Amino acid sequence: MINTKSTATKRHYGHIDNKILIEGLASGMTYTEAGKLAGVSGTSEKSIAPVISRKIAKDVNLKKTLIQKIEERQNMIIDSINKEEILKAPLSQKSVSFGILVDKAELLKGNATNRIEVMPKMVIDQGSDSNKVLTEKEILARIEANKNKGTE
Per-residue pLDDT of the chain (152 residues; tens, 9 = 90+): 455 554 444 454 667 888 888 888 888 888 888 888 888 876 677 788 888 888 888 888 888 888 888 888 888 888 998 999 999 999 999 999 888 888 888 887 888 877 777 666 555 556 655 667 777 788 788 888 888 776 65
Split into its structural domains, the chain has a count of: 3
User: In this structure, are 89 and 110 located in the same domain?
Assistant: yes
User: In this structure, are 12 and 57 located in the same domain?
Assistant: yes
Q: Please, which residues have CB within 8 angstroms of residue 14's CB and are 6 or more apart in sequence?
A: 8, 39, 40, 41, 42
User: In this structure, are 48 and 18 located in the same domain?
Assistant: yes
User: In this structure, are 73 and 11 located in the same domain?
Assistant: yes
DSSP-based three-state secondary structure for 101 = helix
Whether residue 131 contacts residue 124, with contact meaning beta carbons closer than 8 Å, is answered with yes
3-state helix, strand and coil shares in percent for the chain, rounded to the nearest 5: 60, 5, 35
Tell me the C-alpha distance between 12 and 14, whole Å.
5
User: Which residue segment(s) compose the domain that 57 sits in?
Assistant: 6-80
| Residue 95, burial from CB neighbour count under 10 angstroms (0-12, 13-18, 19+) | exposed
DSSP-based three-state secondary structure for 6 = strand
Whether residue 133 lies inside any domain: the answer is yes
What's the pLDDT score for residue 9? Answer: 42
Instruction: Flag whether the pTM goes above 0.85.
Output: no
Whether residue 1 lies inside any domain: the answer is no
User: In this structure, are 57 and 26 located in the same domain?
Assistant: yes
Whether residue 47 lies inside any domain: the answer is yes
Amino acid at 42: G
Tell me the C-alpha distance between 78 and 86, whole Å.
11
User: In this structure, are 76 and 91 located in the same domain?
Assistant: no
Strands 6-8 and 15-17: antiparallel
DSSP code string of 90-106: -HHHHHHHHHHHHHHHH
Whether residue 111 lies inside any domain: the answer is yes
Whether residue 128 lies inside any domain: the answer is yes
